[in-house]
A and B are shown apart, each in its own frame.
Chain A
Amino acid sequence: MTVSSMEQWAEQINKDITDNTVFVYAKGEKNMAACGFSHRVMEILNRLGVDYQVRNVLVDPIIRQAVSARTQWPTIPQVFIGGKFVGGCDIVTEMYESGELQQTIDQARQETTKA
């Protein structure tokens, strides 16, 4: 797959977040984060034992530009659940601590099974 322009990445991002209930744009690969914040988000998802996919934004600077253009969110990681942007490391940590993260994922899963 060769994806190189902003538009192509915007399309790929659409696909990433609709094909996967939980999707993370991170610095580094799954379980090999290159940044403490990306590491924390993956650690939380691992602790919940949920299925998730990761795209490493360090592979091509355009990925980060395309994700941030979509979400109006300047930093990485960025987490999507059920196709919706839920936030970065701070929000995901808060949601994990309150139990809301598991709830949001469960809800998104139910909706995909119904569809």
Chain B
Amino acid sequence: MVTVDEVRRRIEAALPGARVEVGTFQGLDHFDAVVEAPQFVGKSRVEQHQMVYAAVSDLLGGAMHALSLKTRLPESTSG
């Protein structure tokens, strides 16, 4: 089983400096995450989600049925 902590650690390792919140819904194999990362600057929304998915690609479809995502730019760069 994958834990919320493991998912958070994976995303943080893939995107150093990111602020990551992870939770579950509809049971323990549906995850949702809010990720705010400096690496998102200049990327499209699809690219931002792809960067997060890449960190957990081996889990998706297995222990992780779904990862619902919200990506954001760090506040200092979005204003």
Q: Which residues of A contact B (CB under 8 A)?
A: 36-37, 72-75, 85-91, 94
Contact = CB atoms under 8 A, between A and B. Distances in A.
B44 to A, nearest CB: 9
Given A73-B46, A90-B70, A94-B70, 14 more contacts: A36-B26, A37-B66, A37-B68, A72-B50, A73-B49, A74-B57, A74-B60, A75-B60, A75-B66, A75-B67, A87-B49, A88-B49, A89-B68, A91-B45
A89 B53 CA distance: 14
Interface residues of B, number: 14
B73 interface: no
A73 B69 contact: no
19 contacts: A36-B26, A37-B68, A73-B49, A74-B53, A74-B57, A74-B60, A75-B53, A75-B66, A75-B67, A86-B46, A87-B45, A87-B49, A88-B49, A89-B68, A90-B49, A90-B69, A90-B70, A94-B45, A94-B70
* Chain B interface, >50% SS class: mixed
B42 interface: no
A58 B46 CA distance: 23
B65 to A, nearest CB: 9
* Chain A interface, >50% SS class: mixed
B79 interface: no
Contacts of B61: 74
A83 to B, nearest CB: 14
A85 B46 contact: yes
Contacts of A37: 66, 68
Interface in B28-79: 45-46, 49-50, 53, 57, 60-61, 66-70
Nearest to B47: A72
A8 to B, nearest CB: 23
A39 B50 CA distance: 22
Nearest to B48: A91
